[in-house]
């Protein structure tokens, strides 16, 4: 996202934050909507609530655009916001949350029925394995292993130390592996 972006530290109290260009923000929305939607699903936000959560992510991103460093990739920054939105959702719905329904993460692509069934089964197993992780480990595993975001970018997006991200990734991977093997 181009344009003049002021850091929060350079703003005087009460000054307006930099407002993103509407066309650029719309393009970013179009480019990142699916990634944010999928990330929120993988963090356990039910399919019925994901669109609202995605909307919340982009509302926060628009509001905090002045804090965005355009020299860094946009996706990790958005996924950091999505992580916080998912964590808020989980806190609000703590008693309702168990294992998220294993809906389809993406529209079906043309394929043989047995391939489609196998892909759905694998997706359900992965979603159930991810559901066993706490939200912090889940966020890191999904960002790194499923979205391909480098660990330093995850640390910056989640505002946690680099070694903490590595630890969460290691522990989360171990739990997912155990779950996929059928271990308790």
Cα distances from 133 to residues 126, 137, 141, 172, in angstroms, run 11, 6, 9, 6
List the chain pLDDT tens, one digit each, 184 residues. 433 333 333 333 333 445 667 888 889 899 999 999 999 998 888 888 899 999 999 999 999 888 888 888 999 999 999 999 998 888 877 655 444 444 444 544 556 777 777 778 888 888 889 889 999 999 999 999 988 999 999 999 999 999 999 999 999 999 999 998 888 7
Residue 58 lies in a domain: yes
Number of domains in the chain: 1
CATH number at residue 136: 1.10.10.10
Residue 147 domain-assigned (yes or no): yes
pLDDT of residue 111: 66
Per the domain annotation, does 73 fall within a domain? yes
pLDDT for the residue numbered 98 = 45
Domain that holds residue 67: 17-97+111-181
Please report, to the nearest 10 degrees, the dihedral formed by the alpha carbons of residues 156, 143, 81, 21 taken in order: 90
Instruction: Measure the CA–CA gap between 74 and 6, rounded to whole angstroms.
Output: 16
SS3 state at 109: coil
Indicate whether 76 belongs to any domain: yes
Residue 144 lies in a domain: yes
Tokens standing for residue 138:
């889940």
């Amino acid at each position: 996202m181009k344009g003049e972006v002021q850091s929060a530290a350079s703003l005087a109290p009460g000054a307006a934050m930099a407002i993103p260009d509407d066309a650029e923000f719309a393009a970013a929305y179009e480019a990142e909507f699916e990634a944010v939607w999928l990330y929120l699903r993988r963090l356990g936000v039910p399919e019925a609530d994901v669109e609202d959560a995605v909307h919340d992510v982009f509302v926060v991103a628009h509001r905090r655009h002045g804090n965005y460093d355009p020299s860094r990739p946009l996706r990790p920054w958005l996924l950091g916001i999505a992580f916080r939105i998912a964590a808020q959702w989980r806190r609000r719905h703590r008693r309702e949350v168990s294992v998220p329904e294993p809906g389809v993460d993406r529209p079906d692509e043309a394929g043989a029925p047995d391939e489609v069934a196998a892909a759905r089964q694998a997706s359900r197993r992965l979603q159930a394995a991810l559901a066993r992780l706490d939200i912090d480990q889940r966020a890191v595993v999904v960002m790194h292993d499923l979205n391909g975001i480098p660990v330093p970018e995850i640390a910056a997006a989640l505002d946690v130390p680099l070694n903490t991200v590595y630890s969460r990734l290691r522990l989360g991977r171990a739990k997912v592996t155990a779950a996929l093997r059928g271990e308790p």
